[in-house]
Structure 1
Amino acid sequence: MLWGGAEAAVTLGLVLLLFVVHQLWWTNRQARAAAERTVQALEEEWGDPGSPLEEGRESSAASSSSSPPRLVPSPSSPSSPFSAPSPPSGASSSGGGSSGGSGEASVRTGDPAPRWDQAYAILRIPEIGVRVPIAEGTGKGGVLDRGYVGHYPRTAQPGQAGNFALAGHRNTHGEPFRYIDRLRRGDELRVETRGAVYTYVVDKRLARTSARDGGVIRDVPRSEVREGYGYRAPGYYITLTTCTPEYTSKYRLVVWGTLRSMRPR
Structure 2
Amino acid sequence: MSAPGPLPAQEPQGLSGPGRAERRRAAKGRGRQRSRSAPPPAAPSRDRTAPSRDPGAPGRPLTRVEARRAAKAAKDSPAVIASRALGELFITFGVLMLLFVTYQLWWTNVRAGQEVDRETDKIQEAWAKGREPGTFEPGQGFAIMHIPKLDVVVPVAASIDKEKVLDRGMVGHYSEGKLKTALPSDKPGNFAVAGHRNTHGEPFRYINRLKPGDPIVVETHNAYYTYEMASILPQTSPSNVQVIGPVPPGSGFTGPGRYITLTTCTPEFTSTYRMIVWGKMVEERPRSKGRPDALVG
TM bucket normalised to smaller: 0.7 to 0.9
CA offsets per residue over residues 166-197 of structure 1, 9 Å max, x none? 00000010000000001111111110111211
Q: Does 1:158 align with 2:184?
A: yes
Shift of 1:229: 4.3
| SS of equivalent to 1:45 | helix
CA offsets per residue over residues 110-139 of structure 1, 9 Å max, x none? 653322211111001010010000000001
Superposition map of 1:183-262 within 5 A: 183-222=210-249, 228-262=250-284
Of residues 138, 144, 148, the one that matches 1:126 is: 148
Equivalent residue, structure 2, for 1:10: 91
| Aligned residue pair count | 199
TM-score (ref. length: structure 1): 0.72
Computing the radius of gyration from Cα coordinates, the structure with the larger value is: 2
Q: Which amino acid aligns with 2:102?
A: V
Which aligned segments of 4 or more residues in structure 1 are displaced greater than 2 angstroms?
110-113, 228-232
| SS of equivalent to 2:212 | coil
| SS of equivalent to 1:256 | strand
| Structure 1 residues 183 and 205: CA distance shift in structure 2, 3 A | same
Distance (Å, rounded) in 1 between the aligned partners of 2:89 and 2:266: 34
Q: Which amino acid aligns with 1:258?
A: K
Contact in 1 for aligned 2:144/2:219 (Cα 8 Å): yes
Contact in 1 for aligned 2:145/2:153 (Cα 8 Å): yes
| SS of equivalent to 2:283 | strand
Superposition map of 1:86-125 within 5 A: 111-125=133-147
Distance (Å, rounded) in 1 between the aligned partners of 2:231 and 2:212: 7
Contact in 2 for aligned 1:159/1:259 (Cα 8 Å): no
Shift of 1:239: 0.2
Q: Which amino acid aligns with 1:139?
A: D
Q: Which amino acid aligns with 1:231?
A: F
Distance (Å, rounded) in 2 between the aligned partners of 1:121 and 1:200: 15
Equivalent residue, structure 2, for 1:137: 159
- Structure number with the bigger relative contact order (C-alpha 8 A, sep ≥ 6) is 1
Distance (Å, rounded) in 1 between the aligned partners of 2:227 and 2:124: 20
Distance (Å, rounded) in 1 between the aligned partners of 2:270 and 2:108: 16
Q: Which amino acid aligns with 2:160?
A: T
CA offsets per residue over residues 146-176 of structure 1, 9 Å max, x none? 0000000210001311100000000010000
Distance (Å, rounded) in 2 between the aligned partners of 1:215 and 1:111: 29
- Segments of structure 2 that go 5 or more residues without pairing to the other structure are 1-81, 288-297
Distance (Å, rounded) in 2 between the aligned partners of 1:116 and 1:124: 21
- Segments of structure 1 that go 5 or more residues without pairing to the other structure are 49-109, 223-227
| SS of equivalent to 1:10 | helix
CA offsets per residue over residues 39-97 of structure 1, 9 Å max, x none? 1222233239xxxxxxxxxxxxxxxxxxxxxxxxxxxxxxxxxxxxxxxxxxxxxxxxx
| SS of equivalent to 1:6 | helix
The alignment-based identity, stated in percent, is: 50
CA offsets per residue over residues 232-257 of structure 1, 9 Å max, x none? 31000000000011001111111000
Contact in 2 for aligned 1:31/1:146 (Cα 8 Å): yes
| SS of equivalent to 1:197 | strand
